[in-house]
Amino acid sequence: MGFDQYHEPPDELPAATRTFARLCASLTEEAEAIGWYEQRIAVEKDPEALAIMRDAQGEEFKHFSMDLEFLLRRTPPWREVARGILFQEGDIVEHGEEAEAEAFEEGASGAAGSYDHGSLGIGSLRGGS
C-alpha cells in the first residue's frame, strides 16, 4: 500500500524521482480530500460542523498548493506551462494551448523541450546520504 506511488522498481529509481513520486501521490491525496470536503460541506446542515469542515478544507488547500509549488520548482517545463495558465484571466483552454506552445517551442517539441530547460533537478540531498 505504502509503495503504490511507484510504477517502476523503487530500487532502480533515483532518490530525486522517488521524492517526486511521493509528492505527486501527496498532491493527488490532497485534491481528493478537497473534493470530499466539498461534498460533505454541500450536504451538512449543522453550522458548527460546517465551520470545522471549512477550516479542514482550507488546510487541504494549503497542502495541495505546497505540493504543487514543490513539483513545479523541480520540473521547469511544468512550471513554464503552469505560469501561462495559473492566475490568468480569460479562456483557460486558450491559455493552456499558448503556454504549451511557448514552453515547447519550435525545434524543442516533446522530450527535447524538457531537456531544453536544462535543470538537472538535484535540489536538496538531505536524507539521501
Partner 1 sequence: MNHLLRSHAPISDKVWELLDEEARERLAPALAARKLVDFSGPQGWEHSATNLGRTTAMQSGPSDGVTGRQRRVLSLTELRADFELSRDELGDADRGAEDADLEPLDKAAHQIALAENVAVFHGWADAAITGIGDATPHEPLQLPEEPDDYRRPVARAVEHLLCDGITGPYGLALGREQYRRVVEAAEHGGYPLLDHLRKILEGPIVWAPGVKGGVVVSLRGGDFLFESGQDLSIGYDSHDANVVRLYLEESFSFRVATPEAAVVLNP
Q: Between 90 and 118, whose beta carbon lies closer to partner 1?
A: 118
Tell me: does residue 47 bind partner 1 (CB under 8 A). Answer: no
Looking at residues 51 to 110 of the shown chain, list those that interact with partner 1 (rule: CB under 8 A): 73, 105, 107-108, 110
Exposure string of 60-71, with b = 16+ CB inside 10 Å and e = fewer, is: beebbeebbebb
Tell me: does residue 124 bind partner 1 (CB under 8 A). Answer: yes
Tell me: does residue 125 bind partner 1 (CB under 8 A). Answer: yes
Dihedral-angle region of residue 86 (phi above 0 means left; psi in -120 to 50 means alpha; beta otherwise) = beta
Q: Between 55 and 105, whose beta carbon lies closer to partner 1?
A: 105
Q: Between 43 and 120, whose beta carbon lies closer to partner 1?
A: 120
Q: Which residue from 68, 65, 62, 60 is spatially nearest to 37, judged by alpha carbons? A: 60
Tell me: does residue 129 bind partner 1 (CB under 8 A). Answer: yes
Contacts of 9 (CB under 8 A, 6+ apart): none
Evaluate whether 128 touches 15 at the Cβ level (below 8 Å): yes
Q: Between 50 and 112, whose beta carbon lies closer to partner 1?
A: 112
Residue with cell string 480569460: 90
Tell me: does residue 121 bind partner 1 (CB under 8 A). Answer: yes
Chain positions contacting partner 1, by CB under 8 A = 14-16, 73, 105, 107-108, 110-112, 115-126, 128-129
